[in-house]
């Protein structure tokens, strides 16, 4: 909340800004931000509102802009489409950064239209889509009027996205569900276009500016003086008794938790630790005090450590024999994984890290493939992990009070090993893992939300059948089929 208030004050300030007061050389065009630190880019972090397209055109007239940095959770559909058209006509690059103002970069809903309008498209954070909703909230509104407006809006969305040559699978994800759908890593790669044109040095400048901008927003002008160290790009605070994200030891528990955690946008009531590099000082301090800050990941369990060690060994990082104890070999293995591009914050071992390792293809050392054979349907059983998605839940819906109730029992993703079973809302958000009580990952059994679930994998059609057990006089619930599976 404090960050939001500071941002609003910063945006609304009409006072002259000197170089000392404005070290990042920032100029605002409505919700758009231009900085002398990255002069060929515009940044957009706000809710999409009326007249944003006017401000976009004004900024493009005043600066030589060739890329747009997007981290917004959406807003006005028609304004988003209008700006997407401008972006497309101007041939701009669109980039969703790894870091947003509050956690990872997140371009969702109407913001995704702006992303798809880019000539070059690169994803560092997340891109999300969902069904369009009518703005009409009056219960007396005529159904025919609402339907007419909704159909017109959908046709406009399809028209714009077709003009941008958006991949067809985007429409499927966008229109088939009411909840926000965030594209997984494989899908995100398919959405990108000419990513090599946005070179690493440009991306680094963008991400460093966002880090610096957040620190400026968090600074309390009466108590702190912020100096930029040009050689290290670190922020130094002159007063040791101030409370900020960079000096969390001086904060009380409530403020510290605000710096260290955030509400997950995929589950409104769930909190998680912030992952960005500038938040890790606060995260470490919160954990040192024994605070959970409302997150589900409290103290790391022995089972989580075992699974992390197992995944590190799978990637050839040499964590030693899994023993559930964090030692020098485990940290050494994590450093090796980070050295080849893995995302790891020093000293932080938790469920988030485990999930990153599960879906990582980054190898610490190359496997000797001279004597290996190609994977076929005959040797898939030698694999020890299975991830399945694209569920068909239609048959089971009738056994529940609503489709959303059925979906809550059978989440989007399933991950199975010989030791564990885990459901996930998407490829980047997973629930707490449960033990696999079956014989192996191809024929598993586990508990989820107090109910027993049975999992059976069919190699012939590469599908997973999931059956939920019932008790008493309840009628059997038809199985749910996960149509696509992948072995790791």
Q: Which structural domains are found in the chain, ordered by start? A: 2-200 (3.90.226), 238-288 (no CATH), 302-358 (no CATH), 380-487 (no CATH)
User: Where do the H-state alpha helices sit in 220-327?
Assistant: 253-260, 280-288, 302-314
Burial of 74 (0-12, 13-18, 19+ CB in 10 A): buried
pLDDT at 470: 74
Average model confidence (pLDDT) across the chain: 76
235 in helix, strand or coil? strand
HSE, side-chain direction, 13 A CA sphere, residue 446: 25
Q: Which of 218-232, 304-318, 466-480 has the highest mean pLDDT?
A: 304-318
The tens digit of pLDDT for each residue in 366-412 reads 443 333 333 333 333 445 788 899 899 888 888 887 888 888 889 98
437-457 as b/e, with b when 16 or more CB fall inside 10 Å?
ebeebbebbbebeeeebbbeb
> Who contacts 254 (Cβ-Cβ below 8 Å, separation ≥6)?
none
On whether the CB atoms of residues 273 and 266 are closer than 8 A, the answer is no
Query: Mutual orientation of helices 168-175 and 143-163 as an angle, nearest 10°?
Result: 160
pLDDT at 460: 84
pLDDT at 119: 93
pLDDT at 296: 53
Query: Mutual orientation of helices 200-218 and 2-12 as an angle, nearest 10°?
Result: 100
Query: pLDDT over 70 for what percent of the chain?
Result: 74
> Who contacts 5 (Cβ-Cβ below 8 Å, separation ≥6)?
none
pLDDT at 65: 95
Torsion of CA 94, 99, 103, 104, to 10 degrees: 60
Selected residue with higher pLDDT from 25 and 133: 25
DSSP string, 244-269: BTTBGGGS-HHHHHHHHEEE-TTSTT
Band the pLDDT of 21: cuts 50, 70, 90.
Answer: low
Measured CA to CA in angstroms, residue 266 lies from 108, 403, 444 at distances of: 11, 18, 27
Measured CA to CA in angstroms, residue 404 lies from 55, 175, 407 at distances of: 39, 15, 5
Q: What is residue 193's DSSP assignment?
A: B
357 closest CA partner among 415, 438, 270, 299 = 415
Return the structure tokens found at 267: 């589950």
Query: Mutual orientation of helices 280-288 and 253-260 as an angle, nearest 10°?
Result: 140
The tens digit of pLDDT for each residue in 342-372 reads 887 655 677 778 888 887 778 886 443 333 3
Return the structure tokens found at 128: 């999300």
Residue positions counted in the chain: 488
> Who contacts 304 (Cβ-Cβ below 8 Å, separation ≥6)?
349, 350, 351, 354
Question: Which is it for the CA torsion 318, 319, 321, 322, positive or negative?
Answer: negative
pLDDT at 170 over 80: yes
Question: Which is it for the CA torsion 460, 461, 464, 466, positive or negative?
Answer: negative
pLDDT at 228 over 60: no
pLDDT at 60 over 90: yes
Return the structure tokens found at 274: 């912030």
Q: How many CB atoms lie within 10 A of CB 204?
A: 11
By mean pLDDT, which of 86-95, 236-245, 383-392 is the weakest?
Answer: 236-245
Return the structure tokens found at 105: 């970069």
């Amino acid at each position: 909340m404090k960050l939001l208030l500071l941002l609003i004050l910063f945006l609304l300030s009409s006072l002259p800004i000197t170089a000392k007061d404005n070290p990042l050389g920032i100029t605002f065009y409505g919700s758009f931000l231009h900085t002398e630190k990255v002069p060929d880019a515009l940044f957009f972090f706000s809710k999409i509102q009326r007249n944003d397209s006017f401000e976009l055109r004004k900024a493009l007239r005043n600066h030589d802009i060739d890329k747009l940095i997007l981290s917004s959770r959406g807003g006005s559909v028609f304004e988003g489409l209008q700006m997407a058209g401008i972006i497309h006509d101007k041939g701009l690059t669109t980039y969703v950064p790894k870091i947003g103002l509050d956690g990872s970069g997140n371009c969702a809903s109407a913001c995704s239209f702006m992303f798809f309008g880019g000539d070059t498209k690169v994803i560092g954070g997340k891109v999300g889509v969902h069904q369009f909703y009518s703005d009409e909230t009056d219960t007396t509104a005529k159904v025919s009027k609402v339907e007419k407006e909704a159909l017109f809006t959908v046709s406009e969305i399809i028209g714009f996205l077709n003009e941008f040559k958006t991949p067809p699978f985007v429409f499927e994800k966008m229109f088939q569900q009411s909840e926000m759908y965030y594209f997984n890593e494989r899908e995100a790669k398919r959405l990108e276009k000419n990513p090599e044109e946005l070179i690493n040095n440009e991306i680094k400048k963008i991400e460093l500016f966002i880090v610096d901008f957040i620190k400026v927003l968090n600074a309390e002008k009466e108590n702190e003086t912020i100096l930029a160290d040009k050689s290290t790009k670190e922020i130094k605070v002159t007063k040791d008794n101030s409370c900020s994200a960079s000096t969390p030891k001086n904060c009380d528990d409530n403020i510290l938790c605000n710096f260290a955690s955030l509400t997950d946008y995929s589950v409104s009531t769930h909190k998680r630790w912030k992952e960005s590099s500038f938040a890790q000082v606060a995260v470490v301090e919160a954990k040192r005090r024994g605070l959970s800050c409302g997150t589900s990941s409290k103290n790391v369990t022995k089972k989580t450590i075992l699974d992390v060690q197992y995944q590190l060994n799978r990637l050839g990082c040499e964590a030693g024999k899994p023993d559930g104890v964090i030692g020098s070999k485990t940290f050494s293995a994590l450093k090796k994984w980070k050295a080849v591009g893995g995302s790891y914050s020093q000293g932080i071992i938790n469920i988030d890290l485990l999930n990153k390792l599960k879906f990582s293809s980054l190898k610490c050392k190359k496997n000797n493939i001279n004597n290996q054979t190609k994977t076929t349907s005959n040797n898939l059983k030698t694999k020890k992990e299975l991830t399945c998605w694209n569920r068909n839940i239609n048959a089971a819906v009738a056994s529940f009070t609503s489709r959303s109730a059925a979906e809550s029992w059978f989440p989007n993703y399933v991950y199975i090993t010989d030791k564990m079973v885990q459901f996930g809302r998407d490829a980047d958000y997973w629930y707490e893992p449960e033990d696999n009580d079956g014989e192996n990952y191809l024929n598993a059994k586990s508990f989820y939300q107090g109910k027993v679930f049975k999992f059976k994998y069919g190699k012939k059609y590469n599908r997973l059948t999931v059956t939920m057990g019932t008790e008493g006089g309840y009628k059997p619930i038809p199985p749910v089929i996960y149509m696509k599976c992948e072995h790791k």
